[in-house]
């Protein structure tokens, strides 16, 4: 006898049989096939219940498994916990499509549907796999502040918050903090939200998103970081492939195995490739989204779903990336998955004097970064790392059309509730 709980997601009466599907945390629903003469009491009770009712039942696996959608049980006892006050505002069974806006509004409810739930089960699996891989490889999980004094990384626009009598910001990236920790930990990682105040309105941006942020010290070059990034992604994909087969099946996703090493494409090569395809690209700026997308198509033809773009020009990066001797290129890289940037990182400048120089070259005031620079005075080893966008990774793994589908509660240009 097991006790199983969930919500009625579907009820069908066919002839003398009442078929009820109940879905809890599981992928496949529990199915009860009730007959009036056989299960009189339970049949009477359940036939009065609406879709949406929260119930538990005690029972055992049915000897006959006729359902194509779920696992059949013989129920001995039913406990009713809550009935819906009104019919559900969205179709949980997946029969009637809802617009993205409606789906986002009722995501927490829609997740009763195994298809919708699969995305979030897999999301949990992605983070679990990431932790597992990183722990196995000697990374220690850390937490850095989300309320910060300055943006530091430049670029992205920040959300202001009132911090008592001072002005503060929501952290756009743990970048500088995790680097500081390389003065006392060999390897760290953090699973963290990123807050970005840009007013974007695209299928691939969120104002609150999550990242897997990694930083490792004592590296011999950027190659060490590239390997961590590609092995991490490969581990995650493999983990999902083996542990979430049913969820992938329900989503209709064919997630191919990924084998490192990924192609390393030099930034200059990417520029050449794009130009030979007639795409206008600058040699000194980061690639535009359109160029990245086009490059993704070109790489897909060569069977590269995932590839690094390495050696970005100094003119396009943050001050903290290590510059090559030529002073023009850096050890910054992007990791692209089917034409979408899912991670970005590189080797950092760990030499104090060079960092001061870099700040000045970028037109920044070294004194504004005192708290950060301090960390580079007392034996900072060569190090590097990256930040990987969780929603973007999931979006690409599951072929979701909009990044908003990869997160339960969306924070974007117009959404602050739920």
Partner RNA sequence: GCCGCCGUAGUAUAGCCCGGUUAGUAUGCGGGCCUGUCGAGCCCGUGACCCGGGUUCAAAUCCCGGCGGCGGCGCCA
Distance between CA atoms of 396 and 386, rounded to whole angstroms? 18
Q: Which is nearer to RNA, 105 or 121 (CB)?
A: 105
Q: How far is the CB of 117 from RNA (least distance, A)?
A: 16
Going by their DSSP bridges, the two strands 2-14 and 17-23 should be labelled as antiparallel
Q: How far is the CB of 53 from RNA (least distance, A)?
A: 11
Q: Is 341 a catalytic residue?
A: yes
Q: Are 339 and 321 in contact (CB under 8 A)?
A: no
State the DSSP string of 277-291.
TT----SSSPPPHHH
Active-site option among 107, 112, 121, 205: 205
Q: Which is nearer to RNA, 1 or 14 (CB)?
A: 14
Tokens representing 249 are 């099946």
Q: Is 392 a catalytic residue?
A: yes
Active-site option among 190, 215, 341, 349: 341
Active-site option among 58, 153, 186, 198: 198
* Residue carrying the six token digits 């609150």: 208
Q: Which is nearer to RNA, 101 or 135 (CB)?
A: 101
3-state secondary structure of 166: strand
Q: Is 116 a catalytic residue?
A: no
* Residue carrying the six token digits 């070109």: 298
Tokens representing 345 are 């990182």
Active-site option among 112, 121, 187, 196: 196
Distance between CA atoms of 55 and 4, rounded to whole angstroms? 9
Q: Are 22 and 15 in contact (CB under 8 A)?
A: no
Q: Which helix (H) or strand (E) holds 263?
A: strand 263-266
From residue 46, give the alpha-carbon distance in Å to each of 49, 57, 61, 106: 5, 11, 18, 26
Q: How far is the CB of 38 from RNA (least distance, A)?
A: 9
Q: How far is the CB of 317 from RNA (least distance, A)?
A: 9
Q: Which is nearer to RNA, 122 or 393 (CB)?
A: 393
From residue 254, give the alpha-carbon distance in Å to each of 103, 193, 297: 24, 28, 19
- Rounded to the nearest angstrom, the gap between the alpha carbon of residue 231 and the centroid of all alpha carbons in its chain is 16
Q: Are 367 and 199 in contact (CB under 8 A)?
A: no
CB atoms within 10 A of CB 277: 13
Active-site option among 10, 103, 204, 383: 204
Q: Is 198 a catalytic residue?
A: yes
Going by their DSSP bridges, the two strands 140-141 and 187-195 should be labelled as parallel
Q: How far is the CB of 404 from RNA (least distance, A)?
A: 7
Sign, CA torsion 134/139/141/144: negative
Q: Which is nearer to RNA, 31 or 134 (CB)?
A: 31
Q: How far is the CB of 63 from RNA (least distance, A)?
A: 10
From residue 147, give the alpha-carbon distance in Å to each of 106, 143, 144, 170, 323: 30, 12, 9, 5, 30
Active-site option among 171, 173, 209, 344: 344
3-state secondary structure of 366: helix
From residue 176, give the alpha-carbon distance in Å to each of 119, 160, 180, 232, 316: 32, 19, 6, 21, 18
Distance between CA atoms of 282 and 51, rounded to whole angstroms? 57
Q: Is 344 a catalytic residue?
A: yes
Q: How far is the CB of 42 from RNA (least distance, A)?
A: 13
Q: How far is the CB of 107 from RNA (least distance, A)?
A: 12
Rg (CA), the chain: 26
Q: Which is nearer to RNA, 207 or 228 (CB)?
A: 207
Q: Which is nearer to RNA, 230 or 341 (CB)?
A: 341
Q: Which is nearer to RNA, 82 or 156 (CB)?
A: 156
Which residues carry out catalysis?
196, 198, 204-205, 341, 344, 392
């Amino acid at each position: 006898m097991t006790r199983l709980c969930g919500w009625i997601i579907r009820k069908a009466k066919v002839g003398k049989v009442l078929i009820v599907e109940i879905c809890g945390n599981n992928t496949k629903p529990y199915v009860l096939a009730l007959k009036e003469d056989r299960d009189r009491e339970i049949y009477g009770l359940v036939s009065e219940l609406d879709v949406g009712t929260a119930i538990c039942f005690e029972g055992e696996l049915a000897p006959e498994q006729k359902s194509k959608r779920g696992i059949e049980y013989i129920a001995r006892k039913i406990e009713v916990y809550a009935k819906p006050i009104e019919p559900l505002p969205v179709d949980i069974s997946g029969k009637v499509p809802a617009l993205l806006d409606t789906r986002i509004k009722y995501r927490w409810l829609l997740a009763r549907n195994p298809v919708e739930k699969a995305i979030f089960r897999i999301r949990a699996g992605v983070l679990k796999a990431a932790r597992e891989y990183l722990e196995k490889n000697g990374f220690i999980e850390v937490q850095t502040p989300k309320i910060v004094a300055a943006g530091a990384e430049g670029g992205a626009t920040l959300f202001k918050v009132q911090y008592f009598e001072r002005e503060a910001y929501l952290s756009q990236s743990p970048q500088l903090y995790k680097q500081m920790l390389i003065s006392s930990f060999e390897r760290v990682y953090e699973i963290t939200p990123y807050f970005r105040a840009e007013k974007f309105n695209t299928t691939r941006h969120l104002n609150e998103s999550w990242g897997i942020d990694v930083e490792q010290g004592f590296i011999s070059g950027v190659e060490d970081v590239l390997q961590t990034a590609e092995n991490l992604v490969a581990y995650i994909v493999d983990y999902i492939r083996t542990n979430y087969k049913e969820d992938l099946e329900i989503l209709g996703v064919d997630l191919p195995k990924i084998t490192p090493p990924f192609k390393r494409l030099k930034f200059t090569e990417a520029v050449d490739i794009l130009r030979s395809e007639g795409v206008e690209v600058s040699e000194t700026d980061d690639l535009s989204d359109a160029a990245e997308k086009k490059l993704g198509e070109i790489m897909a033809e060569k069977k590269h779903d995932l590839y690094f773009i390495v050696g970005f020009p100094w003119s396009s990066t943050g001050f903290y990336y290590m510059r090559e001797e030529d002073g023009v290129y850096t050890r910054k890289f992007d990791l692209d998955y089917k034409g979408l940037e899912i991670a970005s990182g590189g080797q950092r400048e760990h030499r104090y004097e060079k960092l001061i120089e870099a700040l000045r070259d970028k037109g920044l005031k070294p004194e504004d970064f005192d708290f950060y620079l301090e960390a580079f005075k007392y034996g900072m080893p060569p190090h590097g790392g990256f930040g990987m966008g969780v929603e973007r990774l999931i979006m690409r793994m599951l072929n979701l059309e909009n990044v908003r589908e990869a997160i339960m509660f969306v924070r974007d240009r117009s959404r602050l509730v739920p």
